[in-house]
Amino acid sequence: MAFSSTSALGYLRRAHKQNRLAHAYLISGPPGSGKQLLAAELASLVNGTAANDVFSAKARDIFVAQPESRSRRIVIEQIRDLEHRLQMRATDGRRKVAIISEADRLQPQAANAFLKTLEEPPKDSLLLLLSALPEALPDTILSRCIAIPLAPGDDHDNKPEEEKLVKLLQEAAHEQSWSIQYAYRLAQGFQR
């Protein structure tokens, strides 16, 4: 069952309030489902950093790994750097947060290196893996994370062009006679 990002955040807030957050979560869903927003909100909740700053250089004790190499993969050096930073003491009693964006892009060596961190997480740390393709992750990683599947986002505002197209297609669905005149009107609607 997939969650909306709002209900997933409510679930995670309750777990945090009851001091029952797991050490690792796999937040998955299609593009636009709110994976990064949910990760930012959760990181903000446990770390105190503003959600808007989580993916910026301003964030303290929040470490992000994402594909950067020419091959669009997350390489082992990035994971080793992330693990090294997680071993450091957090400032001001904050919790350290590691976010692996596009976790399905982990090279096999990087995934194996990260597995040790998943098995023995550093004290006061939270590990968040984000993926549109969780099935591409090794089973050893999947089994050590709590899965939070997100439903496709439906809370975005449609652009005016999208609304026009939807209206035209709805009219086409209700049109009884497919005359040349109607086809011409439909084509004109697409051009506007």
pLDDT in tens, the chain (192 residues): 789 999 999 999 999 999 999 999 999 999 999 999 999 999 999 999 899 999 987 788 999 999 986 789 999 999 999 999 999 988 787 899 999 999 999 999 999 999 999 999 999 999 999 999 999 999 999 999 999 999 997 544 455 655 666 666 666 666 555 566 666 666 666 655
Specify the CATH number for 5-149; select among 1.25.60.10, 3.40.50.300, 3.40.640.10, 3.30.420.40. Answer: 3.40.50.300
DSSP secondary structure of 84-101: HHHHSPPGGGPPEEEEET
150 close to 32: Cβ distance less than 8 angstroms = no
CATH 3.40.50.300 domain residues, the chain: 5-149
DSSP secondary structure of 102-163: TGGGB-HHHHHHHHHHHHSPPTTEEEEEEES-GGGS-HHHHTTSEEEEBPPP--SPPPHHHH
Q: Which of 69, 62, 148 minimizes the C-alpha distance to 107?
A: 69
